[in-house]
Every structure is written in C-alpha cells, then in structure tokens.
Structure 1
Amino acid sequence: MGKHIRSFGSGFVFLLQILSLFILLSCAKAENTTWPMANVNLSPIQAWRSAYYCLQNASKSCTTYTLNTTGWLNVTHADGPSFCKEGCADHIRAVLQCILYVKKDFWFGNKATVQHLNDTIDFGCNNPAGFNGTSFYPPSGSRINSAPYILALSASALLLVAFL
C-alpha cells in the first residue's frame, strides 16, 4: 500500500509542476509591440506584424505627417521646410529604420521600399525643388526582389527536363 501512495504523491507533484509551467507560460509575452526591434528570429508573419508595429510609432510633435502602409508621406512643397526642420523627417527615418531591421524586404502599398522613401526624404529635404506630394517608387512593371522567383523557376524547369 505504501508504494501506491508514493507513486500517487510523485504523480501529483509532477502534475503540479506541469500546471505551474502552463501558468507561467500564459503570462509570458513573446512579442514586443512597443519596441518591435526587440523581436528576434522572426517568421515571415511575425516580421510583417513587427513592421506594422513600427508604423504605429507616432510622433506627438508631428501629427500631420504619419507614415502608413500606403507609402505616401503626405508632404507637399509648402510643407517641406517645416517637415525637414521640426524633426518630422528624423522621426519618419527612425520608423523606416525600425521597419528595415524587422523586415528587410518590406514594401508599401505603392510598391515603394524603405530605401525609396528614404531617398524621397533626402531629395525633398536637400533640394530646392522640395517635395511634390509623391514618393519615389519603382515602375509598375518591375518586380521587387525577383531573384528568388527566377531561381525557383529555373530549378523547376531543370527538374522537369531531368525527369522527362
């Protein structure tokens, strides 16, 4: 009878340890939404979510100029000097850097990349022509980061020829 009580006691302790582990894991927060660059080893979906969290980082001093998923900076020629000198350009650059750190191949709704928007800010702040209300983006016919697709297509064609 003593053996059964010991096995029951050790089973109870094991069950208690498992339950406490589940309770601790339910309290753990694996994704950092306030500082997305702290999220490491991201899966593609987590990288997109972290990039979205970067976009949610809004400045209190630059409420007129917010970056969203469309890629439009909403800066006109008349607004250019205040955008560049009041820290709004620096804030947008920090948001773009955050996006670049969490998802290097991020593209916006207008097919612009982080580099295109950085180039738009540099051009608008450093040239007398300033901003024109649009951002730099690739032509509609080009495909961003198409090298992996070409490689996969050529490998598929090679396998098809090899098995015929």
Structure 2
Amino acid sequence: MAVSESTKRWLLISALVYIFALSCKFGKAYDEYPHLGAAGVVANEYLPKAEVEGETNQYFPQAGIIGTGPAFIFNKALGCLSDKHIYSSCDEVHRLTQVGELNVEPEYTDEYCKGPCIDETHHVLDCIDGILKRFIFYNKATVRDIRETIESGCSYGPKRGNFNVLEHIQADDASASKVSNPVLYGIMLIMTVLIHV
C-alpha cells in the first residue's frame, strides 16, 4: 500500500507536535528558580535602613536584600524550626527537624493529625516558605515534599501513619520516570514514519 508524500509529511509533523506538546511544562514559569520572598514580610527584621513600621519613609531596596548573604537567609529560615512562638504545644519529639524528618510513630497518628502538632508544623513550613522559597532540607526534601508527606500520613488511605519523608520523595522520583513514556511513543511514531518514507 503506497502512502502519498503529503500524508507522510503530515504524520511526521503531527508526531513532532505531539512530542513538543508532551515535553513542555505549562504553567510552571517560575517554579524552577528559587525566590527570596521575605523582603516585604520581615523587612524591618534584617534589611538595612528599613524603618519602623508605621513611618512613611520606609526604605526597601530595589535589587534584593542588601547586606545579607545566602547563609544568613538560610539560617533565618532554619530558625523557624526552633521559634518558640510557632512550636509551642507540640512535643519536641514529634516536631519537624532540620534534616527534614517527621518523627511521628504510627500509633501517634491520630494525636498528631488532630492536635496542635499538625497546625504548628504547617506554620513552620509557612514561615520557612515566607523567608526562602524553594527551601531544601538536609535530606533534599522541599517544603512541598513535607506538606505532601503530612497529607498522605494523615489521610485515611493505605499510607496513613507513614510520615517517612524519604519514602515519599523516592515514590515521587519513581513516578517521575513514567512521564517520559509519551515522549518515547512519539519518537517511535517518528521512526515508523521515517522507515516508511
């Protein structure tokens, strides 16, 4: 069976469009780059020349945070974990650590998920996210990974009581490899078209 030349071209073009569309990440324009989101939130806490709130002559630098290095900002974000105003009711044993671990035993799940610990942990994550967007804990977990681990650990599904952040990250990495399957199908389609040309 002979296929016309224009049909072959249209198949090739549609396969290329298919691969292009599946390899794009729509709606994630700034998701890959870290942001420093704390400049306006805690300005008079560590910005030089920032005036006391309520005065009209406030100074906010136009080009980022002046006089602060990455280590200072990182330590400021880590300070949220030990802030006595945020973590006040949750036992220290069950708090989020600097490593990025949630030490919640399966038998403590109900108390953790319905008590003050879950709220205080979310406040800590909000604090960290407000100071340094895309913060990464020592175990390579992000704030989002911690939130998703808490959500699945407190759910009533099969993962209830499992607050192991590393297992959650590894499960996400395993499912990320499945994303490339549509691209492989597109490449196979192109190869099929080229073979029949």
TM bucket normalised to smaller: 0.5 to 0.7
Note the C-alpha offset of 1:73. 0.3
Spell out, residue by residue over 1:11-60, the C-alpha distance to the aligned partner (whole angstroms, 9 max, x if none). xxxxxxxxxxxxxxxxxxxxxxxx97854535422210111111112523
1:98 aligned counterpart, secondary structure: helix
AA at the equivalent of 1:132: N
Spell out, residue by residue over 1:103-162, the C-alpha distance to the aligned partner (whole angstroms, 9 max, x if none). 11211122110000001111111234312241122549x9xxxxxxxxxxxxxxxxxxxx
TM-score by length of 2: 0.48
What count of residue pairs does the alignment treat as equivalent? Answer: 107
Give the equivalent residue in structure 1 for 2:121: 92
Note the C-alpha offset of 1:93. 0.6
Spell out, residue by residue over 1:55-88, the C-alpha distance to the aligned partner (whole angstroms, 9 max, x if none). 1125232113111111110112211110011111
1:121 aligns with 2:150: yes
The answer for unaligned runs of 5 or more in structure 1 is 1-34, 143-164
| Superposition CA RMSD, Å | 2.6
Note the C-alpha offset of 1:92. 0.4
AA at the equivalent of 1:62: C
Distance 1:82 1:123 in 2: 15
Distance 2:46 2:78 in 1: 13
1:71 aligns with 2:100: yes
The answer for unaligned runs of 5 or more in structure 2 is 1-40, 48-64, 177-197
Distance 1:74 1:99 in 2: 19
Give the number of the structure whose alpha-carbon radius of gyration is greater: 1
Task: Assess if the C-alpha contact under 8 Å between 1:116 and 1:137 holds in 2.
Answer: yes
Distance 2:153 2:76 in 1: 28
Distance 2:139 2:148 in 1: 15
Distance 2:71 2:136 in 1: 14
